[in-house]
């Protein structure tokens, strides 16, 4: 079987390949083909991937395609992981938002809006090629804002697409580690939208423990995703939140911390990636592939250590020493995708959190609405667990964001500035027609999107 990666020059591709090495034979994966419009960066990432395979003495074939059609043709699974406009576009998105006094995070609010408007038209073109050259392939969308992008592609008629996010799986991993149990012995049930979801059930060896966890301040403070929230808030809503709900529940804190820091997450990522690529371009990677890999791992560790530190005001950054760093095991995005592939090939299946169509799962949402929910994945297909009626506070927020998403998709499809303004006016992190109008005009000036 063949996996094609569209956006293969992304830095996470190396980690994806490393994660695949432990499972490619079991999953019957023979070949991975990478494609990216940035051929120079793709060459560097390709060499790092080749070395990761060689140092483990594995036989997985990884190639670089010169065109998307070459990459897609014959693929059984396709990964889409794009950043249209490059790293600097994220800096532009966040800077414009902050100058107008709002949060510009790349998936939540106006930052996610800008990224979606640039990205969705490009992905629709790739999906047309996939429909022609690999019509039976499953598409795993890693591209942010994942939920909104997946909604757009599903609405355009591409029904073999699954939205992937590593936030729920990473949360479950840290919860299991804190509770001293194997992940397989911990059931964590999510519902909501991508980056707007809640945990409504936690079962340890079959016993429900969510109430106990909510009452335990030590537990809440020791798990990264929950430690940023006021414990009283979590007890009042009765659920454990996705970390991105921080931007909604503690909006003014997040905005104040970003403004106070004098930099944005996008600026941090841009600087890390630029320094990484400068060092790699300046060396002979063929002569010292392990040295090149260690440079890559150092900068990736810097990137991960700064995650959400600006927004939460934590300022926590571990000291990272260059040298004998290990390649991450690919538990994140890659792990979710590989679990999904393995589930689709198995009778027993897996419980995974994916972005899929609602199809009656959450009461009050339309069947075609893309939600993020725990699913049972097996040879029988991908089946969301029945959620039914949800608390009104969660339902209202989901409905509002889903309407914003649909209006954003409509604005993109019809190149309508007016519809784009309507979409942002509804968003809780904007919530103003005049502000939405200003923001749409500024992003249009920056990118010519309408």
Mean pLDDT of 308-324: 71
For residue 332, is pLDDT > 90? no
For residue 317, is pLDDT > 60? no
What is the distance, to the nearest Å, from the Cα of residue 45 to the centroid of all Cα atoms in its chain? Answer: 20
Distances (CA, A) of 232 to 215, 216, 217: 9, 11, 10
Question: For the residues of 246-259, what is the DSSP string, one character each?
Answer: HHHHTHHHHHHHHH
* 8-state DSSP, 389: S
**Model confidence over 24-66: pLDDT tens digits?**
999 999 999 999 999 999 999 999 999 999 999 999 999 999 9
Q: Chain-wide mean pLDDT for the chain?
A: 94
Integer Cα distance of 103 and 259 in angstroms: 10
pLDDT, residue 422, reads 98
**Domain end (from 138, 164, 190):** 164
* Number of domains the chain contains: 2
**Model confidence over 123-166: pLDDT tens digits?**
999 999 999 999 999 999 999 999 999 999 999 999 999 999 99
Domain-located, residue 223: no
* 8-state DSSP, 362: B
pLDDT, residue 330, reads 62
340 annotated binding-site participant? no
Domain-located, residue 434: yes
For residue 443, is pLDDT > 80? yes
What residues act catalytically? 166, 244
Q: What percent of the chain has pLDDT over 70?
A: 98
What is the total residue count of the chain?
A: 450
Q: Please, are residues 162 and 138 in contact by the beta-carbon 8 Å criterion? A: yes
Domain-located, residue 71: yes
Domain-located, residue 286: no
Predicted TM-score (pTM) of this structure:
0.93
Burial class (CB in 10 A: 0-12, 13-18, 19+), 264: buried
* 8-state DSSP, 348: S
Integer Cα distance of 372 and 355 in angstroms: 4
For residue 19, is pLDDT > 60? yes
Q: What percent of the chain has pLDDT over 90?
A: 85
Domain-located, residue 226: no
Integer Cα distance of 403 and 420 in angstroms: 12
Q: φ and ψ at 211, to 5 degrees? A: -60, -40
- CATH number for the domain that contains residue 152: 3.40.50.720
Confidence at 411, pLDDT banded by 50, 70, 90: very high
90 annotated binding-site participant? yes
Q: Which residues contact 307 (CB under 8 A, 6 or more apart)?
A: none
Q: State both tokens at 137.
A: 């392939």
**Model confidence over 345-366: pLDDT tens digits?**
999 888 999 999 999 999 999 9
Name the residue range of residue 440's domain: 397-447
Domain-located, residue 314: no
Integer Cα distance of 70 and 128 in angstroms: 14
**Model confidence over 61-89: pLDDT tens digits?**
999 999 999 999 999 999 999 999 999 99
- Ranking 334-343, 368-377, 409-418, 423-432 by mean pLDDT, the lowest is 334-343
Integer Cα distance of 63 and 69 in angstroms: 14
Question: For the residues of 188-232, what is the DSSP string, one character each?
Answer: EEEEEETTEEEEEEEEETTEE-HHHHHH-HHHHHHSHHHHTS-HH
Domain-located, residue 360: no
Q: List strand residue ranges (DSSP E) for 312-363, in order.
A: 350-357
Q: φ and ψ at 294, to 5 degrees? A: -65, -35
Tally of CB atoms within 10 A around 238? 14
Domain-located, residue 47: yes
Long-range CB contact pairs, 23-28, < 8 A, 24+: 23/338, 23/342, 24/58, 24/60, 26/342, 27/1, 27/338, 27/341, 27/342, 27/345, 28/1, 28/345
């Amino acid at each position: 079987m063949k996996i094609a990666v569209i956006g293969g020059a992304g830095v996470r591709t190396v980690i994806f390949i490393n994660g695949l090495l432990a499972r490619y034979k079991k999953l019957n994966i023979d070949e991975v083909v990478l494609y990216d419009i940035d051929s120079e960066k793709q060459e560097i990432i390709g060499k790092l991937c080749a070395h990761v395979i060689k140092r483990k003495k594995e036989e997985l074939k990884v190639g670089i395609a010169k065109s998307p059609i070459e990459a897609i043709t014959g693929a059984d699974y396709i990964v889409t992981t794009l950043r249209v406009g490059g790293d600097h576009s994220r800096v532009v998105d966040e800077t414009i938002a902050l100058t107008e006094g709002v949060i510009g995070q790349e998936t939540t609010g106006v930052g996610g809006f800008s990224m979606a408007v640039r990205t969705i038209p490009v992905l629709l073109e790739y999906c047309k090629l996939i429909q022609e050259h690999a019509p039976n392939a499953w598409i795993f969308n890693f591209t942010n804002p994942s939920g909104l992008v997946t909604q757009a592609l599903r609405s355009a008629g591409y029904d073999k697409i699954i939205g992937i996010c590593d936030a729920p799986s990473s949360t479950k991993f840290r919860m299991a580690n804190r509770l001293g149990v194997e992940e397989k012995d911990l059931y964590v049930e999510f519902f909501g939208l991508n980056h707007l979801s809640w945990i409504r059930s936690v079962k340890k060896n079959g016993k429900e423990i969510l109430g106990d966890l909510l009452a335990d301040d030590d537990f809440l403070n020791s798990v990264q995703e929950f430690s940023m929230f006021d414990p009283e808030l979590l007890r009042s809503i009765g659920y454990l939140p996705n970390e991105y709900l921080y931007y909604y529940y503690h909006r003014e804190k997040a905005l104040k911390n970003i403004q106070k820091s004098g930099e944005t997450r996008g600026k941090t990522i841009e600087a890390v990636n630029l320094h990484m690529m400068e060092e790699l371009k300046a060396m002979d990677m063929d002569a010292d592939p392990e040295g090149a890999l260690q440079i890559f791992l150092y900068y990736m560790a810097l990137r991960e250590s700064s995650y959400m530190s600006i927004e939460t005001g934590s300022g926590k950054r571990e000291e990272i020493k260059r040298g004998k760093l290990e390649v991450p095991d690919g538990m994140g995005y890659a792990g979710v995708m590989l679990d999904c592939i393995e589930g689709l090939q198995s009778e027993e299946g897996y419980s995974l959190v994916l972005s899929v169509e609602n199809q009656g799962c959450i009461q009050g949402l339309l069947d075609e609405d893309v939600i993020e929910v725990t699913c049972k994945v097996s040879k029988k297909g991908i089946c969301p667990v029945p959620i039914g009626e949800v608390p009104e506070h969660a339902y209202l927020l989901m409905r509002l964001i889903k309407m914003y998403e649909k209006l954003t998709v409509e604005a993109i499809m019809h190149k309508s500035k007016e519809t784009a303004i309507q979409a942002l006016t509804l968003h809780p992190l904007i919530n103003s027609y005049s502000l939405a109008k200003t923001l749409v005009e500024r992003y249009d000036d920056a990118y010519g999107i309408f």
